[in-house]
Amino acid sequence: METKLLILILNGLTQAAIFFVLGSGLTLAFGLMRVINLSHGAFYLLGGYIGYSVVHATGNWPLALIAGGLSIALLGFLFERTMLFRVRGGDLPETLLTIALSMIIADVSLAIWGGHPLTLNVPAYLNPRVTIFGITYPGFRYLLMGISVFIALSLWLILYQTKLGAAVRAGVDDRETVSALGVNIDAIYSLVFVLSALLVGIAGVLGGSYLQLSPGGDTTILTYSLVIIILGGMGSLLGTVVSSLILGQLLSFGLAYAPQYSYFLIFVPMAIVLAIRPQGLFGREL
């Protein structure tokens, strides 16, 4: 039973890892641009699919990770530069545009990759069966946690230790003043959106390797992402870490002890937090 508990915690951490990669991109874009990117789920799916095609063609998983991430970053860049910037500042048009994009992406993906569930083959050297303290747990999941921690640290470093990060935070505080001081805030907007897209593209490849990709996955992923950032507080990196950890464990233990209601369960902390603190655990008042 001890083993079971440990595995459940490890599962929760794995879930948290993928949740964090998902949520961080969304929360980053929201923090600076106040854009709720509802095509986040579709980006995830597409990133995963592109990764799948790369693995299928080359057998090179790390290449797929990079390709999936970069292609979504490129898509994000194009979308931001050609459409999103035209409606900047309008909640409704921004939201609607991202919805529309997600419909198109999901449908085009269905046309290209079909409706069968696909999964990226992780090469054996990345997925050894690791046994620690008598618990056998897939090595890829440790890798996943590692990648997630790496991303979290990188984001923290970028945001809090670089000039770029300072510019981003200053832009969140007062975008007008920061631009009057010589910072090209529009370029930073694009950059943040691209970074957000890159992260979700990577999440797609990771998720497609650890789970699977199939039509309809986009809305599920979008819902998870929204719950993560609402719970943690929109725009807060720390909040995303904490809420990913909470939701990961909740989902893991929920599946073990009340599998029928596991999905419903993840909404419970969100509902409680919303009723008490509408801005989320670590969010700022908007």
Partner 1 sequence: MSVVWKDLRRLVLGVVAGGLLILLPFYAGEYTVTTFVRIIYFGFLALSVGMLVGQAGMISLTQTAFFGLAGYVIGLLGAERGMPFPWRDLIAIAAVLVMALLFGLVAMRTHKIVFLMITLAFGQICWAFAQQNTSLLHGWAGIRGIRPPAIAGINFNRTSNFYWASLLIFALGILVLRLLARSSFGLALNGIRENPRRMAALGYPVYWIRVAAFLIAAIYAGIGGLLATYNTGIITPTTIQLSRTIWVLLMVILGGSTYFWGPVVGTAVAVWLDVLLSEGTERYNTVIGVIFVFVVLFLPGGILSISDSLRDGRGFPFWRRLYARKNSG
Partner 2 sequence: MHASLVVTNLHAYYGKSHVLQGCNLTVEQGCVAVLGRNGMGKTTLLRSIMGLTPPRSGGIRWRDKEITGQKPFKIAGLGIGYVPQGRRLFPSLSVEEHLRLTYRHRGLAAAWTPQRVYDLFPELADRRQLSGTRLSGGEQQMLAIGRALVTNPCLILLDEPSEGLAPVAIERMVETCHELRKAGISLLLVEQNLHVAAALAERIYILVSGVTVYESAAETFLKNLELRQKYLGV
Partner 3 sequence: MEKKMFKNLFVFLAVLIAANSDVRSAEKEIKVGFISAFTGVFSSFGQQQKEGAVLALEEANYTAGGDKITVIYEDDQLDNEQAVTKAKKLVVQDKIDILTGLVSGDEGLSVGDYMKDKNIPVIPMYSASEDMTMRAFYPMIVRATWTGAQSMDVFGYWLAKVKGWKKIYAIGEDYSYPYNQGGGFKRGFFRGGGEEVKTVWHPVGTTSDFSSIIASIPTDQGYNAVLYNGAGGDAVNFVKQYVELGMLQKIPLIGQSNTFEKPDVESMPADIVGSLSAHHTADDLATPAWTKFKEAYHKRWGHDPSAASEFAYSSMRLILRGIDRQKGDISDKPALVKAMTQVDMSDDPRGPVALDPKYHSAIENVYIREVAKDDKDQLYNKGLWTVKNVGQFGPYDPELYLKQPPDTGSYPPDTPSAFAPEMLKAASEYQYIPFGQ
Segment interacting with partner 1 (CB under 8 A) among 124-132, 137-145, 150-158, 259-267: 259-267
Q: Is 267 in the site for partner 3 (CB under 8 A)?
A: no
Q: HEC states along 143-208?
A: HHHHHHHHHHHHHHHHHHHCHHHHHHHHHHHCHHHHHHCCCCHHHHHHHHHHHHHHHHHHHHHHHH
Residue 116 binds which entry of partner 1, partner 2, partner 3, none, with Cβ cut-offs from 5 to 8 Å by kind?
A: partner 3
Piece of 3-11, 34-42, 64-72, 73-81 that binds partner 3 (CB under 8 A): 3-11
Nearest Cα to Cα of residue 105 among 215, 225, 199, 221 = 215
Q: Across the strands, what pairs with 118?
A: 213
Q: How far apart are CB 156 and partner 3 at their closest, in Å?
A: 26
| Cβ neighbours for 136, distance < 8 A, ≥ 6 positions apart | 129, 130
* 116 touches partner 3 by CB under 8 A: yes
Which lies closer to partner 3 via its Cβ, residue 4 or residue 277? 4
In the window 177-216, what residues touch partner 3 (CB under 8 A)?
Answer: 207, 210-212, 214-216
Q: Which residues here bind partner 1, judged by CB under 8 A? A: 34, 36, 83, 86-87, 91-93, 95-97, 99-104, 106-108, 111, 219, 222-223, 226-227, 230, 234, 260-261, 263-264, 267, 270-271, 274-275, 278-279, 286
Q: Which residues here bind partner 2, judged by CB under 8 A? A: 163, 166-167, 169-170, 172-174, 176-186
